[in-house]
């Protein structure tokens, strides 16, 4: 976040996550956040695909796999620099669960 000049508050607002829940993720109080929640935070930070994959690995979650339809949509959204709302709209349109479900 420091490299991108973002505050926690900005990232949380952009993520669409519940504020308290997101702060718990950042503080470490939420021990096992779901993959979609981590991806929402990653997209809110404007991370590129390499950074997203690193964050998923760091969080102990599965990497994005292009042969999985949901993952492929996320990969495409990250590469196109979609925000969380745009990504959720695309996921919904394609009949997939959104990041905030």
Report pLDDT digits (tens) over 37-84.
Answer: 999 999 999 999 999 999 999 999 999 999 999 999 999 999 999 999
What are the Cα distances from residue 78, in Å, to 27, 31, 64? 25, 25, 11
Number of structural domains found in the chain:
1
Structure tokens at 63: 């990497």
Burial of 6 by CB count in 10 Å (0-12 exposed, 13-18 middle, 19+ buried)? middle
DSSP 8-state code for residue 48: -
Q: Is residue 3 part of a domain?
A: no
Domain region containing 34? 8-93
Q: What is the model's pLDDT at position 16?
A: 93
Alpha-carbon gap, residue 68 to 87, rounded angstroms: 16
Q: What is the model's pLDDT at position 37?
A: 95
Entry pTM: 0.92
Q: Is residue 101 part of a domain?
A: no
């Amino acid at each position: 976040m420091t490299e991108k000049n973002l505050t926690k508050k900005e990232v949380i607002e952009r993520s669409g996550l519940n504020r308290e829940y997101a702060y718990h993720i950042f503080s470490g109080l939420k021990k096992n956040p779901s993959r979609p929640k981590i991806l929402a935070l990653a997209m809110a930070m404007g991370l590129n695909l390499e950074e997203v994959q690193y964050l998923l690995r760091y969080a102990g979650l599965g990497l994005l796999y292009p042969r999985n339809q949901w993952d492929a949509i996320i990969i495409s959204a990250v590469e196109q620099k979609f925000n969380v709302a745009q990504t959720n709209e695309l996921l919904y349109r394609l009949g997939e669960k959104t990041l905030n479900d």
